[in-house]
């Protein structure tokens, strides 16, 4: 079987990759339990590409219940070495309004109580991986170049703040995150990025801004309808970006 050139983890509103030709659904198990759903492996731009819906294809798993370890283990088990994670986020600072696509270069982890390492200390070694640059620079550079070739606007950089959810944040929490230096807020960026680093996978986050975070825009309330509508509009550029990245 040919190696998988790229694995994509889809977030809220991105449950399928329609551009994937003749996908084969691979169900499987890992030492960490079951992944969120089948990994669909097919071809895109002549390359083997894997797709996994992070929340399950019917969006049954909230962010704090996703088995991040099983998902990444399964992708690596199938031969993936690079992962493009698609994450739906709220925008905090000026460049990151609804429908913007962004490629953050930093993150802050506010999550708690999630299984966040493959090294849990049960008879194994304890590993402290370098995580100064949480997203793989070479993969980020490749995605940026692909976006330029595809003519797709993509904001380069920004700090992703990972919150616990599943509730959205208070205005005070977002104000604190802004003071901390966060540009984006989402619920699924961690522990996924850290686990990918532990497995030695190349990993980058393609953030789709669905809404202004609490207190950042004019909306009185953030609704799921708004989130899904903006994700759908912004993800229209995704197939072109992937073709350019793989081609
Ligand atoms: N906060 C956290 N996660 C999100 C948001 C938000 O405003 N929008 C989409 N995912």
pLDDT tens figures, 178-221: 999 999 999 999 999 999 999 999 999 999 999 999 999 998 89
Contact 26, 9 (CB under 8 A): no
**ipTM value > 0.90:** yes
Query: Is the omega angle on the peptide bond into residue 191 within 30 degrees of 0, that is, cis?
Result: yes
Going by CA atoms, what residue is nearest to atom 3 of ligand 1? 186
In a domain, 125, yes or no: no
Handedness of CA 42, 43, 49, 55 (dihedral sign): negative
Spacing, Cα 175 to ligand 1 middle (Å): 14
Task: Give the global pTM.
Answer: 0.95
Residues with CB under 6 A from ligand 1: 88-90, 163, 168-169, 185-187, 210-211, 213, 222, 227
In a domain, 150, yes or no: yes
pLDDT value of residue 1 = 54
Spacing, Cα 183 to ligand 1 middle (Å): 12
> For the chain, what is the domain count?
1
Task: Say if residue 119 carries a ligand binding annotation.
Answer: no
Contact 192, 104 (CB under 8 A): no
- pLDDT class of 177 with cuts at 50, 70, 90: very high
Q: What is the CATH number of the domain that holds 47?
A: 3.40.50.1580
Task: Say if residue 55 carries a ligand binding annotation.
Answer: yes
Owning domain of residue 160? 6-115+130-246
Q: For residue 222, give the ligand 1 atom closest to its CA.
A: 7
CA 123 to chain centroid: 31
In a domain, 86, yes or no: yes
Q: What is the pLDDT of residues 43-90, one digit of tens each?
A: 999 999 999 999 998 878 999 999 999 999 999 999 999 999 999 999
Residue in 227, 229, 231, 234 to alter for ligand 1 test, most ligand atoms within 8 A of Cβ: 227
CA distance 60 to 56: 6
Query: How far are the Cα atoms of 8, 53, 57, 101 from residue 16, in angstroms, in the given order?
Result: 10, 7, 8, 18
In a domain, 124, yes or no: no
In a domain, 122, yes or no: no
Farthest CA pair distance, the chain: 52
pLDDT value of residue 66 = 96
In a domain, 137, yes or no: yes
77 or 121: whose pLDDT is higher? 77
pLDDT value of residue 131 = 97
pLDDT value of residue 124 = 67
In a domain, 121, yes or no: no
- pLDDT class of 18 with cuts at 50, 70, 90: confident
pLDDT value of residue 212 = 97
Mean pLDDT of the chain: 94
In a domain, 120, yes or no: no
Q: For residue 214, give the ligand 1 atom closest to its CA.
A: 7
pLDDT value of residue 219 = 86
């Amino acid at each position: 079987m040919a190696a998988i050139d790229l694995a994509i983890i889809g977030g809220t509103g991105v449950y399928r990759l329609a551009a994937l030709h003749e996908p084969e659904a691979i169900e499987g198990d890992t030492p960490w339990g079951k992944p969120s759903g089948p990994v669909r492996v097919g071809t895109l731009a002549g390359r083997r590409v894997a797709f996994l819906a992070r929340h399950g294809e019917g969006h049954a798993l909230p962010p704090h219940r996703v088995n991040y370890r099983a998902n990444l283990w399964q992708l690596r088990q199938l031969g993936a070495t690079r992962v493009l994670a698609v994450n739906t986020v709220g925008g905090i600072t000026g460049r990151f309004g609804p429908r913007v696509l962004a490629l953050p270069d930093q993150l802050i982890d506010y999550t708690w109580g999630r299984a966040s390492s493959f090294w849990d200390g049960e008879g194994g070694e304890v590993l402290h991986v370098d995580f100064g640059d949480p997203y793989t620079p070479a993969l980020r550079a490749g995605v940026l170049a692909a976006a330029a070739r595809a003519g797709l606007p993509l904001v380069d950089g920004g700090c992703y703040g990972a919150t616990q959810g599943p509730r959205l944040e208070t205005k005070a929490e977002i104000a604190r995150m802004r003071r901390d230096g966060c540009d984006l807020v989402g619920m699924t960026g961690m522990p996924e990025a850290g686990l990918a680093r532990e497995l030695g996978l190349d990993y980058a986050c393609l953030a789709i801004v669905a809404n202004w975070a609490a207190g950042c825009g004019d909306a009185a309330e953030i609704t799921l309808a708004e989130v899904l509508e903006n994700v759908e509009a912004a993800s229209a550029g995704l197939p072109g970006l992937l073709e350019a990245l793989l081609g």
